[in-house]
Amino acid sequence: MSSEQDHLKETDTEARFEFKKEERSAVKSDAGLTEEVVRLISDDKDEPDWMLERRLRALKQYHAMPMPTDWPGQPDLTQLDIEEIVPYIRPDVDKREGVDDWTELPDEIKDTFDKLGIPEAEKNALSGVGAQYESEVVYQNMQDQWEEKGVIFMNMDRAVKEHPELVKEYFMTTCVPPSDNKFAALHGAVWSGGSFVYVPEDVTVEMPVQAYFRMNSEGMGQFEHTLIVAEEGSEVHYIEGCSAPKYGSHNLHSGCVEVFVEDDAHVQYSTVQNWSKNTFNLNTKRAIVEENGTMEWVSGSMGSKATMLYPCTILKGRGATDTHITIAFAGEGQNIDTGAKVYHNAPNTSSTIESKSISKDGGRTNYRGLVHIADGAENSSTAVECDALMFDNESTSDTMPYMEIEESKVDVAHEATVGKIGDEDIFYLQSRGLDDDDAKKMIVAGFIEPITEELPIEYAVELNRLIELEMEGSLG
């Protein structure tokens, strides 16, 4: 491919994420976090009283909890002023519950997701698609073949009304209660949109379902909630994409993901996040896995000013399995603090954590992880591998693994490597006809291959393009 073709591809990819639309909202809350704002959100959604009560309890917990400030090397959150964040913007669309026909969307919203490739992805690779714009899911569709088997895929606002018993049982109760951390409490108070996925017993959803979250407005917060319930013997792959254009003031993304993996079920949760470099990305993601269940996390963290993200799995049942594969990229002015947490609470459980990070131009990446093996979880095993690649002497990469082993009959392994792209490697590839930039791209592509091979081809190609853009300094 010629350099001109490379440039056109990169320009096209950049345009897909950095465009902005004029804000058009039907309802917009005040900035800050008050009881009046929470009541406005609940009233605008016409929620049942029990959900409003949960929101108000979470609000009290949020105000009572301190900001996280004492973790070694954590991102600086002092520039994040919650009182300046607008937590709720409902876009101006005709149907509050979202549409299932793409042509019914307003032109500016349809154009946004057309540029992001959502309709094309739905045609080619997906069982169902949800698209959230600002604080609301504006489009949701599920293929008939899966609906006929009892699969539910809808936005969380609809699920609260149409499946209240399921939502009452699982929503921010045992998996991620608002008391878990300050941003979980914040989320519990002002959450909006997101996805509800329910897969009945012994049903395998053979094609992935996807949700895409887009922030368009300056100074807003997005707080989508994803709840996945995979019943016994079922299987599903959920893919999440996120992006936002760059503005002068800060945005906040504080989503929450709860996954329930019942006996012998299998859930893969893949995410490619490409937030702009004015966004604070502070999420809570957790799964509870029952006997012989399998949970897989595959995540790519690009963009954002600061990210704090540590997907967690509780291996509750005997023989449960967990896998984490993560890639983080930090450039100038970015602090990407990611990792994984696994709790082995039953015998014969196993976990694997593979973390890859890339830093350049003074960016900082950090792996922060916890593996806990409880007393009695005998014959359990865990393997943690952290690899960091740095482009220059100004960049930083740290590894902070923490292991709590309370059982003697276990197998535990940890390995970490940190290194720069070597001059010898570059010279070797240049001697084979590549220029300096292409040589570095090839090295990075090989470095991140473990994550790209776990994604559908469309998303693997996109992740590679995003990283190439970050290496060129042309995005954000």
**Alpha carbon distances (Å) from 43 to 39, 322, 348, 443:** 6, 39, 48, 53
pLDDT at 179 over 80: yes
Q: What is the number of residues in the chain?
A: 476
Of 16-20, 53-57, 67-71, 251-255, which one has max mean pLDDT? Answer: 53-57
- DSSP secondary structure code for residue 204 in this structure: B
Segment 33-61 mean pLDDT: 96
DSSP states along 76-89: P-TT--GGG-B--E
CB 326 within 8 A of CB 355: yes
* One-letter amino acid of 415: E
CA angle 201, 204, 208 (to 5 degrees): 130
Name the more confident of 19 and 288: 288
What pLDDT does 277 receive?
Answer: 81
pLDDT number for residue 462: 60
Torsion angle, alpha carbons of 188, 280, 136, 118, to 10: -130
pLDDT at residue 344, as a whole number: 98
Cβ atoms of 311 and 284 within 8 Å: the answer is: no
Mean pLDDT of 385-396: 86
Q: Containing H/E element for 471?
A: helix 457-472
Encode pLDDT of 417-447 as tens digits: 767 666 677 766 777 777 777 777 777 777 7
Give the dihedral of Cα atoms 421, 423, 428, 430; nearest 10 deg.
90
Total tally of structural domains belonging to the chain = 1
Choose the most confident range, by mean pLDDT, from 6-10, 124-128, 266-270.
266-270
CB-CB contact of 131 with 102 (8 Å) = no
Average pLDDT over residues 345-349: 98
What separation in angstroms does the CA of 181 have from each of 42, 178, 365, 403, 436? 22, 7, 22, 21, 45
pLDDT band at 23 (very low <50, low <70, confident <90, very high): very low
Kindly state the tokens that stand for 126. Answer: 């997906």
pLDDT value, residue 53 = 98
Tell me which of 424 and 153 has the higher pLDDT. 153
Structure tokens at 107: 């032109």
Alpha carbon 243 to its chain centroid, in Å, reads 11
Q: Which domain holds residue 383?
A: 3-472
For residue 471, what are its two tokens? 């290496």
Give the confidence band of 7 by pLDDT, cuts at 50, 70, 90: very low
Give residue 1's pLDDT band: very low, low, confident or very high (50, 70, 90). very low
pLDDT at 273: 76
**Mean pLDDT, rounded, of the chain:** 81
pLDDT at 70 over 50: yes
**In angstroms, rounded to a whole number, what is the distance separating the alpha carbons of residues 269 and 236?**
9
Give the separation between CA 454 and CA 441, rounded to whole angstroms: 20
Q: Indicate the burial class of 330 (C-beta count within 10 angstroms; 0-12, 13-18, 19 or more).
A: buried
Residue 366 backbone phi and psi in degrees, to 5 = -150, 130
State phi, psi for 195 to the nearest 5 degrees: -130, 145
pLDDT of 378 higher than 80: yes
DSSP characters for 278-304? TEEEE-EEEEEE-TT-EEEEEEEEEE-
Encoded tokens for 439:
């040589």
Residue 99 CB neighbours (<10 A): 17
- Structure tokens belonging to residue 12: 């096209």
pLDDT greater than 60 at residue 188: yes
Residue 333 φ then ψ, to 5°: 75, 10
Residue 220 is classified by DSSP as: B
Confidence (pLDDT) at 257: 97
3-state secondary structure of 169: helix
Separation of CA 164 from chain center = 25
Q: How far apart are CA 108 and CA 24, in angstroms?
A: 9
Question: Which residue(s) pair with 342 in the sheet?
Answer: 313, 371
